[in-house]
Structure 1
């Protein structure tokens, strides 16, 4: 960029930052520890000039913007640290679908496709009895709240506001049918009611709801949810890793596409496959 053009851009961005921050020339000169005339020279339209590195840094610090933005090296006014914080955040994770943060993310994704790899069976399709069995181990008093939240999510899905795709490891369905691994100790009637409910919902809401089953021996995924084009969340147990940087969201969307391509049971066949496990 030509020096004069950069100086002109610096002046315009300096004025914009001062306006947003509500800072006068006098206040800026005082907080940046320079003469008022120096700030005046930077803001002159007919004689714009670039400051030295020290003054640029001091002015950026006072106004809460990055030096790169003032100098036209980026279109993001936030500091690099703030950009990273906005692109990747940590949020506490509740154990149940009653998690307020999770509900907010679903609402934020209204109108967009939600793509989900759950940690166990998908919360949005869990029965009250299955939730009760899970809640017995940790917070039984959360059951009514968790069940209401699940019903709200199911109604949200039924309304057609967003399409919902779920990629589920085959062994999760098989373990629920057999009462092994995570589902060891769950009564057979609870497990079969749960599987029938998932199969019925897949039948009734297809293609708005699509469940794909993949073989974890061939492909793997951590629990992850992609909320439209602007947010992707990885569940790590006690917290969520939330990504808002567009390239990271695209990468996790591509990861989900890979799971779907590698699925051994397609969404059209998922209900019949689930029912066949109970017959066997």
Structure 2
């Protein structure tokens, strides 16, 4: 960028930041410990000038913006730390689906497609008795609270506010049917009630609700939820990693597209496949 163009851009952005922060020339000169005339020189539109590195940094700190933005090196006015904090945040993950953060994210995504890879079976489709079994070992049992929250999410889904796509490894459904792995010790009637409920919801809410089954021997995914185009959340156990930077969300959306393309059971065939497992 030509020095004169950069100087003019600096002047415009400096003025914009001062107006945004409601800072006067006198106030900025006090904050940066320079003469008011020095600030005036930076704001002259007939002969704009660039500050030295020390003054540029002091002005940026005083106005809460980045030096790179003032100098035209980026279009993001936030400081690097603020950009990182906005693009990636860490939230504690509650054991219960009633976690207010999850509900807030769902409402934030109203009108957008929600795409979800669960850690086990999708919470939004779990029965009350399955939740009772899951929460039996938790010191403070929260299954009634969790079930109430799930009912709220199901009503939200049934209201056609958003489409919901779920990708599940096929071994999760098979383990639930057989009572193995994670579902070892769960009574057969609880497991079959759970699977029937998932199959029935798939039938009743298709295409608003679409479930795809993929083979984890061929493709893999960590638990992740993409809430529309602006937010993607990865579940890592005790916390969520929430991404809001556009390119990261697009990358995780592309990952979900890959799971759908590689699905061994398409959404239309999932209910019949689930029922066939129970028959076997």
TM-score interval, normalised by the smaller of the two chains = over 0.9
- The residue that corresponds to 1:213 in the other structure is 213
State the TM-score, normalized to the length of structure 1: 0.98
In structure 1, C-alpha distance between the alignment counterparts of 2:96 and 2:176, rounded to whole Å: 18
1:59-74 to 2 correspondences below 5 Å: 59-74=59-74
Query: How far 1:84 moved relative to its partner?
Result: 1.2
Distance 2:209 2:28 in 1: 56
For the Cα contact (< 8 Å) 1:131–1:147, is it kept in 2? yes
Offset of residue 5 of structure 1: 1.9
Residue in 2 that maps onto 1:110:
110
- Structure 1: 5+ residue runs without aligned partners? none
Once the two structures are superposed, the pairs formed by residues 50-61 of structure 1 within 5 Å of their partners are 50-61=50-61
- For the residue of structure 2 that corresponds to 1:233, the secondary structure is strand
- The Cα shift of 1:216 comes to 0.6
Q: For residue 104 of structure 1, give the secondary structure of its aligned residue in structure 2.
A: helix
Cα distance in 2, alignment partners of residues 78 and 11 from structure 1: 17
Determine the structure 2 residue equivalent to 1:199.
Answer: 199
Shift, 1:202, TM fit: 0.1
Shift of 1:9: 1.2
| In structure 1, C-alpha distance between the alignment counterparts of 2:275 and 2:226, rounded to whole Å | 28
CA root-mean-square deviation = 0.9
Deviation of 1:47 after TM superposition, in Å, equals 2.2
Other-structure match for 2:161: 161
CA-CA distance at 1:131 after TM superposition: 0.8
Which runs of structure 2 are paired with 1:10-29 in the superposition (5 Å)? 10-29=10-29
Specify the SS of the correspondent of 2:51: coil
| Cα deviations by residue, 1:116-171 (Å, 9 ceiling, x for unpaired) | 00000000000111111111111553222111110010011101111000000001
CA distance in 1 between partners of 2:145 and 2:22 (Å): 44
Cα deviation for residue 219 of structure 1 reads 0.7
What secondary structure does 2:16 align onto?
A: helix
Work out whether 1:136 is the aligned partner of 2:140: no
Question: In the alignment, is the contact (CA less than 8 A) between 1:42 and 1:48 conserved in 2?
Answer: yes
* Runs of 4+ with deviation above 6 angstroms: none
Q: What's the CA shift for 1:6?
A: 1.5
Cα drift, residue 197 of structure 1: 0.1
Q: For 1:254 and 1:245, how far apart are their aligned partners in 2?
A: 14
Matches within 5 A, 1:235-254: 235-254=235-254
Distance 2:238 2:110 in 1: 26
Shift of 1:260: 0.6
1:32-80 deviation per Cα after TM superposition (whole angstroms, max 9, x unaligned): 1111110111111222111111100110011110011001111100011
Query: How many angstroms apart in 1 are the aligned matches of 2:33 and 2:12?
Result: 21
| Superposed CA offset, 1:71-122 (max 9, x none) | 1111100011211111111110011211111111111111111000000000
Q: Match of 1:145?
A: 145
Distance 1:223 1:66 in 2: 35
Give SS of 1:269's match. Answer: helix
Aligned residues: 280
Asked whether the 8 Å contact 1:113–1:228 carries over to 2, the reply is: yes
Unaligned runs of 5+ residues in structure 2 are: none
Q: Cα–Cα, structure 1 residues 257 and 76, in superposed 2: closer, same or farther, change >3 Å?
A: same
C-alpha separation between the residues in 2 aligned to 1:29 and 1:139?
Answer: 59
**Aligned 8 A contact 1:117 1:223 in 2:** yes
